[in-house]
Structure 1
Amino acid sequence: MGDFEDDLDEVDQSTITAYLNDPPALHIRRTLDQYSYHMLRCTARWDQDQVVSRWARRWARRERVHIHNILMVDQLWLWMHSLGQSPAQASTQASSKYRPEYVITAFPERTEADYLNRGCSEDIKSQVLASNKRLREPICTMRDLGTRILFTCFNVFDRFQDRETLQFFHMFEDSVRTIDDNESSLFGEFQSHSTALHELGMKSRNFGQRKRMLMEQLLDIREETRSLVEIKDIRDEIHIILSVFHSQLSVLDRLVGEESNKNTNLGPFAISNAVERLIQNNITDFTKLDNQAELIQDKLNTLLDLKQKASNAWEARSARECALEAAKQGNTMMVFTVVTIIFLPLSFMASFFALNITAFPQDEKSGESSWPLGLLSAYLFGIAIAISVPLIIIAMNVQHFSNLWQRIRNDYFILLQMTIIQYLPGFRPESPGFKKLEERRDAYLNEQEELENDQGLHPEKA
């Protein structure tokens, strides 16, 4: 067992060695996760990351201390026996004849806490026998001692502990409050980053870099995820602690019932009142704390949901901006296309008329082509305009002409083929070729009708 075994005395080591694996197995002390998730082979990772451990690490950085407590689930074995006493004698503090009463307890000692034990805390025996302001009654009977033992063992979450390192309920409260404050800060940062991003103008200095930085800060969910994981761990430990409290209450109820059946003259078992109130108060406190932690968990989920929605909104906005930018680039390309369509025929015709062709007008002295300006301009610009204008019209209405060509090819041309087939000898409307053309035309017309309906167009059918 390593270091854990080194911190035990000889009696405890011998007990564990002798009875740990014997039926019934010895139940040694367990951490919260070992108690709740007993089916797991190892819970070391969770044991080192308890709420108490995280709080203690923050406290240790301030106090410069590196040793701290963790929460354990121990078993208390308690036997109360009176030799030769009747129930009536057991109910009185002083009987006519003394009868010995025995209270036998068994519980594990604290381990690996030498630093904290030195003048900081006492063992359970000393705490039981010490004066307790919350239990003013003196120990006069066996049941008084039993009540004091149970109250001391169940009072681990006492808010009035002198040592800060033993105020476990305060550690849970402080951890929940810290996450709540962190959630409020994260929500404020989200709001400020969102506002700054909306107010960022395109003419701002370093617009692209500033926008990218704000987007990264706005959509960063690392802190929210860390806080969400931590609050879920806190709630998990609270639920484990509540299950321990309910187990304590169940055992106490059975004990009271058994004692009431044995001693009908005593009424409720004397142990029940103070101890039951203590357990019920612990259940109430941790239930309220769990409700508060649940609200914080819901707020963190809401913040993550808002960031996801903001991410979707900004992605849609970026897509729209990219579409607008693509449209601008398309317009620019259209300008270059029109210019190319205009000047390409001009340059081609100019090069063509510059060739030395015998049919062209020639200069008598040089023998080279020599065109009159008016005639050359008429040919050059006339041919260029005749070529450029139709091409420009087609370029600016590509989709329209594409749809027109599809209609001609899949409607009018097929209709023409079907009309011709009807007049050819040997072909009938029932022939496979005719039916295939008819099905192709019907499919095209149905597709166009569905497209028009999707676009909200409802043309009248001829």
Structure 2
Amino acid sequence: MPHHAPSTCLSNKPHDNRVSDAAVHFNGCLPAARLGRFYDSLNPESQQRIARINEKVASLRVRLETTERDSTAGARLRECKHAMAQWRAATGRSSQPHAAASKSGPASRSQTPATPAFGGATHPADIHTKASVMYFKNGQPCDVPDLAKSFPHQKIPMADLLCEDETRNPIMKPAEDNVVRYFHLPANNMAWVEEVIARYYREKRPEPGGLFHNGGSRGPESKTEMVLQPGYWRGQQNFDANSEVHARHMRPFCSGISLDSVSSEPNPRNMVLFMPYLHWETDRGRVRSAEITKEAGKHNLSSIADVIKEAKHQLSHTQTGDTIAAPEWAPQPSPPAFGNVDKKVALGQALRAAAALLEAMDSHMEEQLTMQYLHAEPPMHPRRTLDQAYYGALRSTGTRDRDQVVYRGTTPQPHDCIGMDACPQCNEDIRKTPRILMVDQLWLWVLDEKTVITSFPRRWSRNRPDPSAIHKSLRIRLRNARHGEISSAYDLALVIVDETSRVFFDRTKISTKQPNLVELFNAAIRDLTYKQTAAFDQFLIYTHLASRDYKRQRHVSTDNSSQNHLLNINPEGELLKEVKDIMDELYIMMRIKEQQQSVMESFVKHIRRVITPLARSHRPAVAPIPAPWDVAALELNSPYTDDVAHFREEDQRQSAKRTLTKADMLLQDVDERIEELRALLQNARNTSVALKDLLTLKQQQAGVIEAREAVKQAQLTLKQGQSIMIFTIVTIIFLPLSFCASLFGMNAAELSTDALLPLATELRLMFPISAGIILASFLFAFSSGVFANSGVVLVRSAVSFVWNTAVTWVVVKTGLYVVGREMLIKANRLREREGTVTGAMKAEVLRREKNMERMRAAGHVKALARQRGPGAGRGGRGSSDGEGAGMVMSPFGEGAIPGSPSPFLGGSRESVVDHDVELGERVSRKPSSQVHLVSGR
């Protein structure tokens, strides 16, 4: 009978009797009255797991409540408590949670673990951060004594790895001859690296202000100083005190390190490697890490005023009884005033606060590390985005980060829908998580051929298992390693370097969260190429429509939609910008891969110098690597001693050959990855060139349109000149007649007996008045002074101010502005729709017209063939004068056009027109997104 989980369970899967989910069922599904009975029914293993999980949760809770400096998780914890109190008040429950029975063990809290007093590592970031430890004995994985769990999941607190107690620090214990050790530091923290290497050699860490760091006349004295001398460590850092935080990184570098201070070794066996590699991060994690980085900078560079303000803030909270003073950047809880709160609202607030607390707990360790070590001496290197790694001088790259191809490909796109339940696109977008590309650093040391130390970061807020993490993939690969695959420290180093360089290029890994880099870029380039092809087809269609309108003398009308589409370069400009962004990102990734290739070549060259003599020698030049079997019990005078030594030597040579083969394969793999990126870049370049050609054609077409408009204006000017000439001739003819008629029609005493004024008096009045009016008119018309135009401008401005003020008041008070705005928006939409529909209709009409012309032409050809007789068509196929019905290649790359001569060979222009019609027919059948491109959106 199948088990059905109760409605109160956190999971909808049956887990009541499953050991792996007993803690989930205990803490999240059962009521308080059933906790004791359920706990007693479990086996001891499940009881111990529940106790361990509850102790861990209680320890984390106490640590958040008692931390010296408030954190985001502490503020979220207070908010969650407040929301739970509101929910209890709304549901009528008791104000305090129910305490489990004493026999249920895990219900009781545990105290905060004691802080170890060793090595100065007393910060919570060192105590609660785990470093991974792996051992290989005789080429086989083995468990590390005194550590919990088993290979490859054994970890140790960083505080233990930094301490000077040999009983607690495994890196200080002497390594056996047949053991290879691997220690991984989960952050690019320079302080950790210096301390761990000093612990390995059982020496004191060099003083930060000593000659070891500042340089001087004396040379390094200890092995730690030899390994961490400036040429191999701090001299390779690429930042200074004035650089941005995200500009911190180590230059790509690989070299051997000689520990002999007297004479340098020809083939040093110690090695250091710094190499960048690609990884990814969620956009939410990037934003959160940027906020913590900014807050860490403020905390490190606080002014006197900030310190006084923070002290007053803490004092006010202390006087009110608060135990923790929250900084200004931390979210503040709402006041504990409950009142009448709806049950559903209270439940929603409680669930939201719990989710925020879970997210803050995941990033608590990263926050503590950032606040402690980001601006320490030496500092920690934070993770960098793709643009931060290339544009290190920029202060902020948030806008550029959200313009990545990966971000656009993993972000839900806005769309119109009727509701989430009825829209499949909305249901699919819920599962999408915006992601971006990151550039991380691999720091690797091979010490004395027995110990490998690496340092590289993990994703933000990933305290839980992450299948796409580098170290998780590395653990899986080492767990499944074949017998003898890890026979030396160099084999292990090759695996680590290969695993960090193959991110996004490993086809065998299937992860639902890690973005498929190559496929996203291929899809983006395909989409741009498709749009470019559609834009080219539409350009040909509208070019033909504009030519037809010009021939039919339609250019004088108000319909200029074809010319407007030809003069609008915004769609092609947007496409060119997108392809330019794609090319920039591919170039940055290729640059990172080329840096990896350079580092790997130096790495492989160093391995060849060390291992090649071992692979060619007949006798071991150094202490041989022991065989998998135990030969310690053999006596020196045993007759099988020489055979065992021979097998040891042969096994050593074979192991060295396998190492060299894996090194060569590593270089081949990185070459293939670079070629794959180069192919993507070439495809993007082809699309960019095609878009530039299209813009060039549009520019040339714009020149043609301007020439046509110039001809049009010249014709209009000629017509206007002819009209003015006619009016001038008429004026010349009638002006003397009008003057004579006016003169003799005057009521002057010399011309009429009834006149009152003589002609001389009338002339003295006429000419001065006319001269004054003409002079004033010429002054206002042709004067360039200020006074002539100022009066007109002043009067016009005064009238315009009064008119605009009155109209604005009336429109705002009566609500006509809102109505007019809505009508304008609706009119713009209708205009856009009209342009789209009109363009499609024009293309359809043009296609029908050309089809009719082709049908009539075909009928005419058939009629001519009948008149010539049956033998007229046999010679046409093989004729050499170009008049046959042969296949001619189209200049547009669409294959052969049957039955039409090539326009480049002097053929008819109708073939080109017919091809344009076919292009218009194809575009009219394309989806609406390309019709929008036709309309100039």
- TM-score normalised over the length of structure 2: 0.33
* 1:41/1:32 CA distance change after superposition, 3 Å: same
1:21 aligns with 2:21: no
Corresponding position of 2:472:
126
* 1:122/1:163 CA distance change after superposition, 3 Å: closer
Corresponding position of 2:558:
209
Superposed CA deviations along residues 312-344 of structure 1, whole A, max 9, x for unmatched, are 221222122112101101111222222233333
1:277 aligns with 2:659: no
Letter in 2 for 1:209: T
Q: What is the 5 A alignment of 1:54-453?
A: 54-57=408-411, 62=425, 63-64=428-429, 65-81=431-447, 101-111=450-460, 121-130=467-476, 139-142=485-488, 143-158=490-505, 160=507, 161-163=509-511, 166-200=515-549, 208-211=557-560, 213-263=561-611, 264-265=613-614, 266=656, 269=660, 271-349=662-740
Total equivalences in the alignment: 341
1:37 aligns with 2:369: no
More helix by share: 1
Superposed CA deviations along residues 102-160 of structure 1, whole A, max 9, x for unmatched, are 4433221112579xx88x8343333224369x998874434444333322221122262
Q: Secondary structure at the match of 2:454?
A: strand
Distance 1:334 1:246 in 2: 76
Distance 2:414 2:445 in 1: 40
Q: Are the equivalent residues in 1 in contact too, given 2:383–2:457 (CA < 8 A)?
A: yes
Distance 1:54 1:129 in 2: 32
Letter in 1 for 2:389: Y
Letter in 2 for 1:148: V
* 1:56/1:356 CA distance change after superposition, 3 Å: closer
Corresponding position of 1:88:
none
Corresponding position of 1:421:
none
Letter in 1 for 2:433: I
Letter in 2 for 1:38: G
* Offset of residue 349 of structure 1: 4.7
Distance 2:581 2:414 in 1: 21
Corresponding position of 1:94:
none
Distance 1:59 1:156 in 2: 27
Q: Secondary structure at the match of 2:559?
A: helix
Corresponding position of 1:48:
402
Distance 2:700 2:511 in 1: 47
Q: Secondary structure at the match of 1:71?
A: strand
Distance 1:191 1:175 in 2: 25
Q: Secondary structure at the match of 1:209?
A: coil
* Offset of residue 298 of structure 1: 1.6
* Offset of residue 208 of structure 1: 2.6
Corresponding position of 1:445:
none
Distance 2:573 2:462 in 1: 34
* 1:121/1:206 CA distance change after superposition, 3 Å: farther
* 1:138/1:183 CA distance change after superposition, 3 Å: farther
Q: Are the equivalent residues in 2 in contact too, given 1:60–1:66 (CA < 8 A)?
A: no
Q: Secondary structure at the match of 1:336?
A: helix
Q: Which sits farther off after the overlay, 235-244 or 56-65?
A: 56-65
* 1:342/1:74 CA distance change after superposition, 3 Å: same
Superposed CA deviations along residues 169-192 of structure 1, whole A, max 9, x for unmatched, are 111111112111111111122221
Distance 1:74 1:53 in 2: 18
Distance 1:60 1:80 in 2: 51
Distance 1:155 1:60 in 2: 34
Letter in 1 for 2:568: D
Letter in 1 for 2:716: E
Corresponding position of 2:253:
none
Q: Are the equivalent residues in 1 in contact too, given 2:366–2:460 (CA < 8 A)?
A: no
Distance 1:144 1:56 in 2: 37
Q: Are the equivalent residues in 1 in contact too, given 2:363–2:460 (CA < 8 A)?
A: no
Distance 1:282 1:7 in 2: 37
Q: Which sits farther off after the overlay, 72-81 or 105-114?
A: 105-114
* 1:313/1:202 CA distance change after superposition, 3 Å: closer
Q: Are the equivalent residues in 1 in contact too, given 2:580–2:688 (CA < 8 A)?
A: yes
**Structure possessing the higher radius of gyration over alpha carbons:** 1
Q: Are the equivalent residues in 2 in contact too, given 1:128–1:152 (CA < 8 A)?
A: yes
Distance 1:162 1:17 in 2: 35
* 1:38/1:205 CA distance change after superposition, 3 Å: closer
Distance 1:350 1:303 in 2: 68
RMSD (Å) for aligned C-alpha atoms: 3.7
Superposed CA deviations along residues 242-290 of structure 1, whole A, max 9, x for unmatched, are 1111111111111122222223223674542332222111110111211
Letter in 2 for 1:181: Y
* Offset of residue 241 of structure 1: 0.6
Q: Secondary structure at the match of 1:28?
A: coil
* Offset of residue 355 of structure 1: 7.9
Q: Are the equivalent residues in 1 in contact too, given 2:549–2:555 (CA < 8 A)?
A: no
Letter in 2 for 1:332: S
Superposed CA deviations along residues 3-58 of structure 1, whole A, max 9, x for unmatched, are 22457655544443343234544222111111111122221211121111122226
Distance 1:356 1:48 in 2: 89
Q: Are the equivalent residues in 2 in contact too, given 1:157–1:282 (CA < 8 A)?
A: no
Distance 2:736 2:518 in 1: 89
Letter in 1 for 2:473: Q
Distance 2:366 2:741 in 1: 110
Q: Secondary structure at the match of 1:75?
A: strand
Corresponding position of 1:392:
none
* Offset of residue 358 of structure 1: 11
Q: Are the equivalent residues in 2 in contact too, given 1:29–1:72 (CA < 8 A)?
A: yes
Distance 1:323 1:206 in 2: 14
